[in-house]
Amino acid sequence: MRPGRSEEKRTEGQTAAPEEKKAGCPYKKKCGGCVYSGMEYPEQLKRKEQAVKKLLSGKGIVHPITGAEQPLYYRNKVTASFGFRNGKLIAGVYEKNSHRVVNIDHCLIQDERADRIIHVIRDLCVSFKIKAFDEDSGFGLLRHVMVRTARKTGQVMVILVTASPMFPGSRNFVKALREKCPEITTVIQNINSLRTSMVLGNREKVLFGKGYIEDELCGLRFRISSGSFYQVNPEQTEKLYEKAIELAGLTGKELVLDAYCGVGTIGMIASRDAREVIGVELNADAVKDAEANAKTNGIGNIGFYANDAGAFLEDLSEEGVKPDVVLMDPPRTGSTPEFIKSVCGAKPKRVVYVSCNPETLARDVDVFRRYNYRMEEAWPFDNFPLTEHVETVALLKPVNG
C-alpha cells in the first residue's frame, strides 16, 4: 500500500510518520532492490552499521552510522526498462537476475516526479504507437527511460534510450510530454543498439533544452550530463562530503588529488581549503562537466584530466608530482593495487577514501597496509535507505607519519 507523506520535522535517522516506518514494497521479491523494505528504519541502520563494523573494526575505529532524514523517495536517478506483457506496454525494472520487465506503478525510493513522468511516457507510447524494444526479436524502439532530477534547482532531465537513431514523430512526442510534465527542463534521445546490459549507448541527440541539468551541493553548482556519475541521494551526500573534507585536514597549503572525481564535486569543495587540486576521471563527458563546473563556480585552483586513475598517478609520480592529500572515491569494484602503490609512493600525509562498497574498501585498506598506511577511522552513511547498500568514508595515514 502506498504510504502517506508526513510534513512533520524528522530527527536524524528516524521517520516520523508511523505508516512510513515499516514501508513495505509489493515488488520487493521480484525487483530485489529494497531488501530492507518492511523493516523499521532504526533496525536498517543498525544492520548496516554492524555490517561495516564486521568488515572494518579490526582495522581502525568505526563510528556510528549517520541515518537519513528522508528514508523514502530519495533517489534522484531512476531508470525504467520497457517491455510488453499480455499485449500491454509495461515499464519498470528487470526481475532479479533476468531480463523480464516487472511493471512498477509506485516505487518507495525513487523521486516521485520521476515515477509520474515514466507513467506519462508509458501512456504516450501507446497513443504514439511506439513499441518497446524486444531483445529477442530485435523489433521495437524504446529500451529504457532514465529520469534525473536536481533537488535544489528543480531541473529534470529525461533520457529516452532507443534501439535505433530513427525516432519518427519525436518532435510531437516531446511536445506532448512537456505539456503533461512541464517540470521537464531537458529531453535527450540516447541511442543504444548493442546487445548489452548497459543502459546508455554512446550516441545522443538533445531533443529539448540544454542537454544537462544543474544541481547544488555544499554551496556549489554542478552541471550533470546524461552519462556522468552523480550521487543519488544529495541530502546524505552533503553530510558525507563534509565529513570527507573534515578528515582531509586541509590548511590551504596542500596539493590535493581527487581521484575518480566524476563531475568534480569533492575536489571543488576541497579547493576552498587547498592550494591546488588535480582531478582525474575515466569518463570524458564527466570531465567536460567538471571543467564547466570549475568555471561556473569561479574556481581557479583546480584542473581535470580524463584518464585511468592508476595510469595517471604513475605518470604524476614519474614527473615527481606528489600530492599532500589524496581523496579517492572509486566505483563499487574498488581501486587497484597499482593505484594504491602509486598513492603510497607519493607519501601523502592523509588519504580519504569514500566508498560505496565496504567489502572492496576493506580489501583496499589491506593493500594500503602493505605500504604502511593504516585506516584510523571510518564513518558509515546511509545514502541508500531500504536497500542493503551503505557509503563509508575512511581516513588512512602513514603508520609512522
Residues that bind ligand SAH (CB under 6 A): 229-231, 260-262, 265-266, 280-283, 286, 308-309, 329-331
Q: Which three cell numbers stand for residue 213?
A: 541539468
> Nearer Cβ to ligand SAH, position 278 or 309?
309
Edge-to-edge, what's the strand order for the sheet holding 325-328?
61-62, 373-381, 391-398, 350-355, 325-328, 255-259, 276-281, 302-306
> Nearer Cβ to ligand SAH, position 115 or 281?
281
> Nearer Cβ to ligand SAH, position 305 or 371?
305
Question: Which neighbouring-strand residues pair with 213?
Answer: 224
Catalytic positions are 356
Instruction: Work out the number of other CB atoms within 10 angstroms of the CB of residue 201.
Output: 18
Instruction: Work out the number of other CB atoms within 10 angstroms of the CB of residue 252.
Output: 8
**Least distance in angstroms from the C-beta of 18 to ligand SAH:** 34
Residue nearest to ligand SAH according to CB distances in the complex: 262
**Least distance in angstroms from the C-beta of 216 to ligand SAH:** 14
Q: Are 300 and 325 in contact (CB under 8 A)?
A: no
> Nearer Cβ to ligand SAH, position 170 or 283?
283
Of 324, 227, 350, the closest CA to residue 281 belongs to 227
**Least distance in angstroms from the C-beta of 376 to ligand SAH:** 21
Q: Are 187 and 209 in contact (CB under 8 A)?
A: yes
**Least distance in angstroms from the C-beta of 370 to ligand SAH:** 20
> Nearer Cβ to ligand SAH, position 140 or 323?
323
**Least distance in angstroms from the C-beta of 208 to ligand SAH:** 26
Q: Are 74 and 390 in contact (CB under 8 A)?
A: no
Strands 142-149, 77-85: pairing kind: antiparallel
